[in-house]
Amino acid sequence: MAGSTAPPPRIGVLALQGDVGDHTAVLVGLGAEVIGVRRERELSSIDGLVIPGGESTAIATLARAVGLIAPLRDAIAGGLPAFGTCAGLILLADRIVDGIPGQQTFGGLDVTVRRNAFGAQIDSFETDLTVKALGPDPVHAAFIRAPLVAEVGRAATALAALPDGTVVAVRQGNVMGTSFHPEVTGETRFHRYFLEQVTARAVTR
């Protein structure tokens, strides 16, 4: 903001496993201050949280090992803006199918997500998507052993779908998730959109 003296938003990237560096690079490029989150105490100093892509089962197992599941769940339920890509979307979903037995999520999105819904790693693909919330230019999206949103609950809103209607991006208030990885294709508008939500919340607090 021109003439603004507000400090940059401080964004935590959950740094247990996954493409932490890709998200960090995009966020830093957009002017955010970024810290890696590995401990509960780090949650109290951040204005927003990004959950990277990677392997949701591994991230959940590590989060449990460091005692982060309940603190993350509480922080997100308490209004901490959160943005997850791929495995991050899975971890933000209230419900998952094709998880491993007992797989936990942090929740925040009233959706059911199906893991590995497009097949194996080798079936990964890239495509252009229309995302109205981000303007007219298509988003180039990379789907890497990606989940899909099988059901959008009443509290959540679809942001993007594949041509066959499969929902691949959702938002619910301050929580947003994408099946794909904008952070690996040079796409910055999702992160920008997220930072706008973070800043708007900081201003109204």
Ligand X SMILES: NC(=O)CC[C@H](N)C(=O)O
Six-digit token string for 182: 């904008």
54 makes contact with ligand X (CB under 6 A):
yes
Per CB under 6 A, 55 contacts ligand X = yes
How far does CA 156 lie from the centroid of its chain? Answer: 14
Q: Which of 72, 104, 74, 102 is CA-nearest to residue 90?
A: 104
Active site residue 42: no
List 23, 33, 42, 86, catalytic entry = 86
| Least Cβ distance, residue 29 to ligand X (angstroms) | 21
Pair 98, 117: CB distance under 8 Å: yes
Is residue 139 a contact point for ligand X (CB under 6 A)? no
Q: For this structure, is 183 an active site residue?
A: yes
The residue annotated as part of the active site, out of 183, 187, 191, 196, is 183
Tokens of 33: 């201050």
State yes or no: residue 145 binds ligand X (CB under 6 A): yes
Q: Is 115 in the site for ligand X (CB under 6 A)?
A: yes
> Is 23 one of the catalytic residues?
no
Query: Dihedral sign, CA of 193, 55, 71, 20?
Result: negative
Q: Largest alpha-carbon pair distance within the chain? A: 52
Rule CB under 6 A: choose which of 116, 127, 157, 185 binds ligand X: 116
- Minimum distance from CB of 201 to ligand X (Å)? 26
> Which residues make Cβ contacts (< 8 Å) with residue 148, sequence separation at least 6?
113, 114, 117, 118, 166, 167, 168, 179
Smaller CB separation from ligand X, 116 or 201: 116
Site string for ligand X, 62-101 (x = CB under 6 A): ------------------------xx--x-----------
Residues designated as active site: 86, 181, 183
